[in-house]
Amino acid sequence: MVWRCPAVATLGLVSWAMLGIAPANAHDPIRFDTRRATPGASIELIEVAPATGEAPVKYRLRVSGLPPGQVYGVWTNEFGHGFHEQASGFRLDESGTLVSSELDVAGRPRRLDQMTFEPGPLPRGAGWQVAIVSSDRRVTAFAKAIPRPIAATHGPCTVSLELASRRGDRFIASGSGFMPGEDVTSELTYAGRTGRKTHRVSPEGRFLSDFIVHGGGGGDQRARYAVKSRACEVTVEYEWGEGALSER
C-alpha cells in the first residue's frame, strides 16, 4: 500500500564517516542484494551506550554462522549510494572469532567484536547498513540500524518511520507490539489533508511496509502519522522534504 501524492522536488545529500576505521575508498560503490544473505550467516548490531547524552551512537558487530577458510571485509551502505569497504583482512580463528591480519598495540590480532563503528551525521529515520562479505563475494551477511529513529510509543505499541528517499519525501512506516490478528487504522495528516488505511496485524504483533509519499504542501512540511488499535493510539510527528534531511 502506498500513499500517493505529487512528488516534491527538493534534493538533499547525506554524508557520514566511520570512527577509527579507514575512510571509504573513492572506488565505485558495490551493490549487494541484501535479500540474498548466505543461509545461517548473520550480523547483530549492538549499540554502545554513549559516555554523554550528546555523544554519537556507536555500534559493535556480533557475527555468527560464517564458514571458515575465507577472508572477510566490513562494508557499509551510504544511505542509498551502495556499499563501500571500511575494513578488511578478517579470518575466523580457532575459537570462531573474526580477527584481523593487523595487530593491536599489544601485538595481538584485532578482534572484530571489540572494534567500535560509528555512523557519521545522518537525518532522522535514515538507515545505516553493515555487511560482512567474503573476498570472493560468495558469502554475505547484512544488518541495519537507524541511529536517529523517528518513533513513538504508547503502552506496548511502537510505531516507527524509516526515511526512504534522499529528497525527504518518502518513508516506510511499521509497527510492533499490537494484538496479533487485529485490524488497526493508520491516519496520515499533512498540508491540510488526511488519509486513512486499515492494516491487519501479523501473528507476531507487527504491521509492516506502509509506504508514505509526500508532495505539494507549500512551505508547511510538517506531518503526523497516527495508528489506532483497541489498546493503543500512537502518534508520530515529523518533518518531510528539505526539513527531513537535517543531520542534527
The last residue of a domain, from among 117, 145, 173: 145
The answer on 180 and 212 residing in a single domain is yes
pLDDT by position in tens, the chain (length 248): 434 332 222 222 223 333 333 334 445 678 899 999 999 999 999 999 877 767 788 999 999 999 999 999 999 987 767 898 999 999 999 999 999 988 888 888 899 999 999 888 889 999 999 999 999 999 999 999 999 999 999 999 999 999 999 999 999 999 999 999 999 999 999 998 999 999 999 999 998 889 999 987 667 899 999 999 999 999 999 999 988 888 76
Is residue 165 one of the residues assigned to a domain? yes
The answer on 171 and 128 residing in a single domain is no
Domain that holds residue 180: 150-245
The answer on 108 and 59 residing in a single domain is yes
Domain count across the chain: 2
CA distance 46 to 61: 6
Stated pTM of the model: 0.79
The answer on 82 and 54 residing in a single domain is yes
Using alpha carbons, select from 130, 56, 41, 35 the residue that is nearest to residue 87: 130
The CA distances from residue 57 to 76, 98, 121, in Å, are 15, 23, 10
Is residue 32 one of the residues assigned to a domain? no
Neighbours of 154 (CB within 10 A): 17
The last residue of a domain, from among 145, 160, 179: 145
